[in-house]
Amino acid sequence: MTVAFRPTPSVVRRDSGLYGYERALARRGLGPVAGVDEAGRGACAGPLVVAAVVLGRRIDGLSDSKLLTAARRESLYERITATAGAVSVVVIEPAEIDARGLHRSNIEGMRRAVARLSCDLGYVLTDGFPVPGLPVPSLGVWKGDQVAACVAAASIVAKVTRDRMMTALGDRHPEYGFAVHKGYGTVGHRRALETYGPCPAHRFSFATVARSGPGEVMSENEVGAGLA
């Protein structure tokens, strides 16, 4: 009788440091490890940006991009992109989010980001939830951008990329203040929507945009989406 081989499971302690997941997977022969995260999920304007990163050398100071200052994120972004084993970025525009839905767009963006990496992978860590359909084994890690270095790096790449895009959108549509709030539903952004209505950079399937003021153009799947 043939007995299936089952490897002893690895246990990664929460206090094992930001590189604990990568070390444990490498010991099992499951490297390189890619981290995947997105930026802009909760915004009602601008794209959803997904990044996948395979780290090269160790980078001190990595953390969840939301916990870092803008200047610190920019500095780490330069170090990540200069030293990483592989980096890929996927931009999902508002029209695709409206057509697919936010979560499906997020999942698809993560698949695309992993597929575009320029190296063979052994494992993928995603932030928060599992992603089916990846080409190698994967794990959704709760608060992954705070406990896994490669996911933290992906969160920084996604955040800096998207912030730069929103600043450029702010130059084209100064009335909304995109460079300040980056498309999230702040009081100032909601007031601008009430005054001017949405522009093509807005996500029409989001309730904040659906309830906006003059000049609005409703999309077919706008009513009842309530995803903001």
Q: Which of 68, 54, 15 is nearest to 150 (CA)?
A: 54
Q: How far is CA 156 from CA 35, 115, 146, in A?
A: 11, 19, 11
Q: Is residue 200 part of a domain?
A: yes
CA separation for the pair 78, 72 (Å, rounded): 10
Q: Are residues 90 and 191 in the same domain?
A: no
pTM of the model: 0.87
| Range name among 85-89, 99-103, 218-222 with the lowest pLDDT average | 218-222
Q: Are residues 190 and 130 in the same domain?
A: no
The answer to whether 220 is a known ligand-binding residue is: no
Q: Is residue 84 part of a domain?
A: yes
Q: Is residue 120 part of a domain?
A: yes
CA-derived radius of gyration, the chain: 19
Q: Are residues 130 and 181 in the same domain?
A: no
The answer to whether 38 is a known ligand-binding residue is: yes
Provide the CATH number for the domain around residue 102.
Answer: 3.30.420.10
Q: Is residue 31 part of a domain?
A: yes
Q: Is residue 85 part of a domain?
A: yes
Phi, psi of 45, deg, nearest 5: -145, 155
pLDDT category at 57 given cuts 50, 70, 90 is confident
Q: Is residue 228 part of a domain?
A: no
- The DSSP bridge pattern shows strands 48-54 and 33-39 to be antiparallel
Domain span holding position 196: 172-211
Q: Are residues 49 and 128 in the same domain?
A: yes
Q: Is residue 4 part of a domain?
A: no
Q: Is the pLDDT of residue 218 over 60?
A: no
Domain count of the chain? 2
The answer to whether 127 is a known ligand-binding residue is: yes
Q: Are 33 and 21 in contact (CB under 8 A)?
A: yes
Query: Which pLDDT does position 55 carry in this prediction?
Result: 96
Query: Which pLDDT does position 17 carry in this prediction?
Result: 86
